[in-house]
Amino acid sequence: MHALGMRIGKLCQAGDLILLSCPLGAGKTVLVQGIGEALGISDVTSPTFVIARIHKGPLPLIHVDAYRLLEGGNAAAFLDDLDLDSPREGAVTVIEWAGAESARLSEERLEITIDRSDEVREVAIKTVGARWQGVSL
């Protein structure tokens, strides 16, 4: 997961949005740590209890954990309360536990699903919008 994150991170640009949909223990945070490392950020930790962290670096990383927002029943409203629009323009944003409420943030995004129903992780990456078309991961 870390190596995949590094590959993705090396391709990232300011304004990129990456959505992660996967169960507990699938490797979301390790993937984000790889993205962060590729962006020159070494201290990426899970934002589970703070909901969002902004990691400073040459290209900042906004790391959001929407799990607790989903529990409230109106994740879209709570996501709006985070006011991610302006800082997102100059950073890479990764949202864990992303869903339709997160997808509306950008028409250009990567949607990554990690399945661990077996002992083997299966990763599916969907590119949305022209920004990611033709990019090989």
Its domain, for residue 23, covers 2-130
| Residues 92-119: b if buried by 16+ CB within 10 A, e if exposed | bbbbbbbbebbeebbebbbbbebeeeee
Cβ atoms of 99 and 21 closer than 8 Å:
yes
Q: Answer yes or no: is 137 within a domain.
A: no
Q: 28: which 2 tokens?
A: 């979301």
Q: Is residue 116 part of a domain?
A: yes
In a domain, 135, yes or no: no
Query: Per the domain annotation, does 84 fall within a domain?
Result: yes
Per-residue confidence (pLDDT) for residue 71, from 0 to 100: 58
HSE-up of residue 137 (Cα within 13 Å, Cβ side) = 22
For residue 122, is it within any domain? yes
Q: How far apart are CA 75 and CA 54, in angstroms?
A: 20
CB burial string 41-61: b at 16+ within 10 A, e below: beebebbeeebbbebebebbb
Task: Specify if 136 maps to a domain.
Answer: no
Task: Tell whether 86 is covered by a domain.
Answer: yes
Mean pLDDT of 58-86: 66
* Average pLDDT over all residues of the chain: 83
Structurally, the chain folds into a number of domains equal to: 1
Query: Residue 59 maps to which CATH number?
Result: 3.40.50.300
| pLDDT > 90 in the chain, percent | 45
Q: Is residue 104 part of a domain?
A: yes
Condensed to tens digits (0 to 9), the pLDDT of residues 3-55 reads 999 999 999 999 999 999 887 778 899 999 999 999 999 889 887 666 788 88
Query: What letter represents residue 74's amino acid?
Result: N
Backbone angles phi, psi at 124, to 5 degrees: -115, 130
